[in-house]
Amino acid sequence: MQFFPTMSIFLRIGSLEIRWYAVCILTGALVAYYLATREASKVGYSSDFLDDTFIGIMLFGIIGARLWYCAFYDLAGYLADPISIIRIWDGGLAIQGGLVAGASFIYFHTKRNGVQFLHLADIVLPNVLIAQAIGRWGNFFNQEAYGNVVDESYFDGILSFLKSGMYIDYEYRQPMFFYESMLCLLGFILIRLFRKYSKTYRGDGLFGYLGWYGVIRFWIETQRSDSLMIGNLKTAMLVSAVFMAIGVAGLLGAFRKKIYSEKPVIIFDLDGTILDTQEAIYASFKHSFETHCPDLILTEEDYASFLGPTLKQTFEKYCPQASAEKIAEMIETYKKHNREVHRQLVKPMPNVTKLLKYLKENDYNMAIASSKMTDTCRLGLEVTGLNDYFEVVIGLDQVKNPKPDRETIIKAIRALKGYFTNAIYVGDSESDVISAKNAGVYSIGLTSNKMLLQSLIDAKPNVLIDDMIEIIDILQEEHLWTVNLK
């Protein structure tokens, strides 16, 4: 085993050679992957989806970068020796070809998986800058991406460590790879700070990347002497001009109307949100506990805790010694009593009927995502005259993992053929808000139960409302309709 720290070969084991070029590109990709997935996982993306995305971007990005390079560097030569096309370890990747291919993969990948392209692109592309900043050092070891001839004194001072690597064809060259690397790093930091501390819109991560990289690459190409050409024009300058135009126009809001034209899907919790079922829930729990655990004494705080968890979770909490069979019996007693009192005790929450009528008239797609059984949800909607507003109702019996897991909400969104990156979940409990965050959707917390108010506030929904009718005003505003990122 041999190391070659100042040559193009990083490591040699027998006949196997690992080049610095590959090490730099892979290191940059892994750093970008880590940063992007850390952010993406917080807004509802599953690890499987993110892994598939990373592999796809890497594969298509490398293929696109290589084909772009071969096409504009020496197409005839590569066609004459097709095997040489796959020898990427010798150098020869054009980042702009990789960007086009990688972005194309993201577009079709998101479309296939019911995700908004711009939402994922906003997360991924700014982190590509850090991959480029690291990957550019592969050009240093391959002695690529250099500029015009300069005097040896050019490397006096802080650039002295680059001097030996920039002695190419018996002359010293400008280290354009280094300038691009540093500018990519600066752009990564600036866009990250902008997205964290400024008001942002959908697409700003993408547009920020295109604008920044377009500018720096355009300037870099004015100095480089080893650029890819199309006729008498540098291909990178042409593409950079397009990047700049799209990026600046996007940041100035030229596409904002189109981006925000698609209405979000709206998913509702049932109890305490659409229906006032508190009296029926309390009565049914009281009846079940009196039947099966007559010695249990319940406080107002205990009754308040019944709202949100599943029946199984509540009965196991208050009767920890009960067997599984006993818990199942208690649940059946509750369900039977609850159905009997539905018509008498269940009613719509204030202004819900007015809200639902407005949403239906304005073509919003709506669904229920609840921890109750689907048939019980339907019964409540039927006795209150709200059944026709909801074609999709996802209850406890339709999921493996109840709230606060994301599954109930995601299943409702998919049934509506919507995007979790363009969805709202409305609920009245801490569990509802946590579910929304796990799913990556915009959360609205309804302060209908004062006993649950503090825990609801602590859960930090995107917005709190005191009346369901307030949702109409919220829908008139520009929002990303995803979980808070800041």
- Give me the sheet containing 2-3, strands edge to edge: 2-3, 9-13, 16-19
Q: Which residues contact 391 (CB under 8 A, 6 or more apart)?
A: 367
pLDDT in tens, the chain (486 residues): 333 444 577 667 767 777 788 889 899 999 999 999 998 888 878 888 999 999 999 999 989 988 988 888 888 788 888 888 887 766 677 888 888 999 999 999 988 887 889 989 999 999 999 999 999 998 888 888 788 899 999 999 889 989 888 888 899 999 999 999 999 999 999 999 998 888 888 899 999 999 999 999 999 988 887 777 777 888 888 999 999 999 999 999 998 888 877 899 999 999 999 999 889 888 999 999 999 998 888 888 888 888 778 899 999 999 988 999 999 999 999 989 988 998 899 999 999 999 999 999 999 999 999 998 999 999 999 999 999 999 899 999 999 999 999 999 999 999 998 888 899 999 999 999 999 998 889 999 999 888 788 999 999 999 999 999 999 999 998 888 888 655
> pLDDT tens-digit profile of 388-412?
999 899 999 999 999 999 999 999 9
Q: What angle do CA 479, 485, 486 make, to 5 degrees?
A: 105
Tell me the two tokens of residue 393. Answer: 């109702």
Where does CATH 3.40.50.1000 sit in the chain?
265-275+347-475
Angstrom CA distances, 159 to 141, 296, 373, 387, stand at 16, 78, 68, 72
Where does CATH 1.10.150 sit in the chain?
278-345
**Rounded to whole angstroms, how far apart are CA atoms 229 and 237?**
10
pTM score: 0.74
**CATH no. for 278-345:** 1.10.150
**Rounded to whole angstroms, how far apart are CA atoms 269 and 26?**
45
What angle separates helix 20-42 from helix 47-73, to the nearest 10 degrees?
A: 140
**Rounded to whole angstroms, how far apart are CA atoms 432 and 415?**
19
Residue 470 sits at φ, ψ, to 5 deg, of -65, -20
DSSP assignment, residue 251?
Answer: H
Question: Active-site residue numbers?
Answer: 269
> pLDDT tens-digit profile of 306-356?
877 889 999 999 998 899 999 999 999 998 998 899 889 999 999 999 999
Place domain 265-275+347-475 in its CATH homologous superfamily.
HAD superfamily/HAD-like (3.40.50.1000)
